[in-house]
A and B are shown apart, each in its own frame.
Chain A
């Protein structure tokens, strides 16, 4: 039984004041109510914090373990060999290569195709409308007729040197930009050709547009601009 904190008189259960000294017992009740509620609330907060903390630590631990596995993979030595020469040089003709939806051209196949085309450029510059037939020019196999004719027009500097007993020849091909746009490929090169007189050089900035025509690659557009080396 509770007693009055002032005079010690026993209190009734619902009494708000001491029946003897009228000392209020409201404060004590309020304190009791607070003390009975607060520990429950604080317990919940602590429990929630522990759960959140455990999940956060678990997530960070899992992430760290996964990244550690990846880096372990990267440090292991891989049994990799150099490519065979025919895979990356121009030993095999890129024109004869055929493709399908199951075996599409890899990006390096496009670069090889354009590089092999550049070797036909000095020959294309030699074309004469009056004496030559188009079919004899190997560039025709790589490109459309419109492209061939635009090349003949653009290669005037090399054409002027074509009569020399020492023919012009390719010196360097630098691939500068290479992107895919849907079904077509755009390749930008800087090409240097050596002319017979005093080993003079001529440099072109060239933009190619290549696409897969049925089962083989074909150049469908070329913009060739002579630039300073």
Chain B
């Protein structure tokens, strides 16, 4: 009688123990969609893999605030400290937070500090005045609104607004008629280059607020 009861409870305990995940290889290789495809909802890592797919699609869309929210949800899952999903989600969260910090620093009003004409043979300065204001949007945080305020040479100032898609290195290159316009943020400020048939017009701008 006692042996029967003992065996019964041992089998019950075996049933209660957590089933190991069958998709560990896919998770280790970062193949989260395949992990979702190859697992059932009962798999202990199914939901974590699904959340990673959501996190990566948000991050690839450059929706950094949404990425941070999803990464925090993953952080709350009962996963071991060294679990690859936990580490990957944390890395993405840190990247998104760093990017938002850089965008916060980059946004603002810039004033022309120096304007240079490079005709391929020599560099000369030329008179230029004006400001431009840059603000980054939501939820697509790398999409900027650039507002020109009496910007450029005094005889032909530019006052309009343009939407510019920046890359994560905070640079943008746009074709504009015969010109190629590039924006590059650096620690010193912003460099705006108009490259065309007559050479390069380089504006070095400094943040004023």
Q: Which A positions have Cβ atoms within 8 angstroms of B?
A: 44, 47-48, 51-52, 55-56, 59, 63, 67, 70-71, 73-74, 76, 78, 80-83, 85, 88-91, 104-108, 110-112, 115, 165-167, 169-182, 185, 194, 199
Interface string of B23-57 (1 = CB under 8 A from A): 00000011111101100000000000000110011
Name 4 extra pairs, CB < 8 A, besides A74-B78, A106-B31: A91-B169, A112-B60, A166-B175, A170-B165
Between A112, A166, A171, A180, the greatest number of chain B beta carbons within 10 A of the residue's beta carbon is seen for A180
- Give the chain B neighbours of A44 by CB distance below 8 A: 1
The answer for the CA separation of A76 and B86 in the assembled complex, in Å, is: 12
Chain A interface helix/strand/loop/mixed: mixed
Using C-beta atoms within 8 Å of the partner chain, give the interface range for chain B: 35 or more
Could you say which of B16, B30, B82, B176 contacts A63, with CB atoms under 8 Å apart?
Answer: B16
The answer to whether B94 touches A181 (Cβ under 8 A) is no
Contact of B37 among A88, A104, A179 (CB under 8 A): A179
A193 to chain B minimum Cβ distance, whole angstroms, is 10
Residues of chain B contacted by A110 (CB below 8 angstroms): 33
Q: A48-B1, A55-B6, A165-B177 are in contact. Are A80 and B91 (CB under 8 A)?
A: yes
Flag if A199 contacts B163 (CB, 8 Å): yes
Which of the listed residues B12, B32, B34, B36 has the most CB atoms from chain A within 10 Å of its own CB?
B34
Please name all residues of chain A whose beta carbon is closer than 8 Å to the beta carbon of B61 when the two chains form the complex. 172-175
Q: Are A111 and B57 interface neighbours, CB within 8 A?
A: yes
Offer 19 A-B interface pairs, CB within 8 angstroms, sorted by A: A59-B12, A59-B13, A76-B81, A78-B81, A82-B97, A88-B59, A89-B167, A110-B33, A165-B177, A166-B177, A167-B175, A169-B165, A169-B175, A171-B163, A172-B140, A175-B61, A177-B57, A179-B36, A179-B37
Decide: B33 and A180 in contact? CB cutoff 8 A: yes
Quick one: CB contact mask for B47-80 with A, threshold 8 Å, 1 for yes? Answer: 0000011001111110100000000000000111
Instruction: List, in ascending order, chain A residues with CB within 8 A of B175's CB.
Output: 166-167, 169
Complex contact B34–A180 (CB within 8 A)? yes
Given known contacts A88-B59, A166-B177, A174-B61, A83 and B36 CB-to-CB distance under 8 angstroms: no
Give the complex CA separation of A175 and B140 in angstroms.
Answer: 12
- Determine whether the beta carbon of A199 is less than 8 Å from that of B162: yes
Question: Inside 8 A of A177's CB, which chain B residues have their CB?
Answer: 57
Q: How far is the CB of B181 from chain A (nearest CB, A)?
A: 10
B153 in contact (CB, < 8 A): no
Residues of B with C-beta under 8 A to A107: 30-34, 52-53, 56
CA distance A226 to B71 in the complex (A): 32
Any A CB within 8 A of the CB of B87: yes
Closest approach, in angstroms, between the C-beta of A139 and any C-beta of chain B? 17
> By the criterion CB–CB under 8 Å, are A89 and B168 in contact?
yes
Minimum CB–CB distance from A21 to chain B (whole Å) comes to 46
Q: Is the CB of B168 within 8 A of A88?
A: yes
Residue contact A70 to B78, C-beta cutoff 8 Å: yes
Contact partner of A104 (CB less than 8 A), chosen from B9, B31, B174, is B31
Contacts of B32 in A (CB 8 A): 107
